[in-house]
Amino acid sequence: MEQTRALVLHGARDLRLERRALRPLGDGDVRVRVLFSTLCGSDLKLVRGEFGAPHPLVPGHEIVGEVVEAGREWAHMVGRRVVPEIMYPCGTCHYCARTLPNLCSDLQEHGFTMDGGWADFLVGSGDKMHLVPDNLDARAASLLEPLAVALYALERVPVHAGDRVAILGAGGIGQLVAQAVRAAGVAEILIADRVPARLRIAEELAGAQTTDDLGELVRRNPLLAPDVVFECAGSPHGLSQAVELVRPAGRVGLIGFSSERAAPVDANTVILKLLDIKGILSPTGTWARAVELAAAGRVKLAPLVTHVVPVTDFGRALRLAEDKDDGAVRVALDLA
């Protein structure tokens, strides 16, 4: 049986490049030859052992590839580039029945509970594959999954033309939220990060005003207090800062996973300011819109893939993503 490469996580920080047998296809499956799979902050936490996960596991959920084999129903996809949806909800539980598949009681996800895209091949259901438009290059398409997350964030926490929107963290998801906010017609966008190169990208792509300290900026000029804050950095203090800075009757969206479970939040402030705080989890119902915006050029994906590293040098890829060296926004593993 043919052997292929896969990066396999055997435990905290125990990631090994191994040879594996090809997984057989089911009738409704397709086999995708992975081209690029990018490293998300949640991937780094998974590798560090901060997320519970079965072992051994192939991580990776931001994936683009080419269909090389398919069951009869999906034969028309062979030779086409695709991005796979990552969620496989049961479809029958309490949450699925309420159109909340991201809360499914038996949710299976590529890269978290079942093998993902840090491998030469990924097998998935044909109805979970989205065709990549011809005018979108593969590196850019690897970020369609986080763009779908950013668009779901705007469904959970809607923004309006007259709003001032602040974003904490200018990594991949923060950059995509900023561009999605701009595409929604919001003119005033503030984005905070400690890495100057990331801030320059946000200025160029989203027309955002940038700062390395949003709290200090708002304290100096209270008129800059935002109507909406998206916490995209996964900082343990991000929620408390968002609650402090957002205007009364404001909205807060939490996207970034924090390594620390507890965050100091003044509940009285939440009450007295009549704040709405919402969690944002997984790309849910927004894939088609993500493809549409990227294909139309209304959201620029390619500039956010700042580094491409061969899968054989995965240790360097992890270090770049972890340390944000050279202004790394998204680091892609090259499996082509």
> Would you state the pLDDT for residue 261?
65
Asked if the model's pLDDT at residue 1 lies above 60, the reply is no
User: pLDDT tens across 239-280, in order?
Assistant: 999 999 999 999 999 999 876 666 778 899 999 999 999 999
User: pLDDT tens across 191-205, in order?
Assistant: 999 999 999 999 999
Transcribe 77-139 into DSSP letters: GTT-EEEE--EE--SSSTTGGGT-GGG-TT-EEBTTTB--SSBSEEEEEGGGEEEPPTTS-HH
Q: Work out the pLDDT band at 179, boundaries 50, 70, 90.
A: very high
Which among 296, 301, 34 is positioned nearest to 173, based on CA atoms? 301
Strands 14-21 and 29-39: unpaired
Question: Which domains, ranges and CATH numbers included, belong to the chain?
Answer: 3-143+301-334 (3.90.180.10), 147-279 (3.40.50.720)
Q: In the chain, what percentage of residues exceed pLDDT 90?
A: 90
CA atoms within 13 A on the CB side of 217: 17
Tabulate helix, strand, coil % of the chain (nearest 5). Answer: 35, 30, 40
Round the average pLDDT of the chain to a whole number and report it: 95
Q: Work out the pLDDT band at 97, boundaries 50, 70, 90.
A: very high
> Would you state the pLDDT for residue 266?
87
Asked if the model's pLDDT at residue 27 lies above 70, the reply is yes
Entry pTM: 0.95
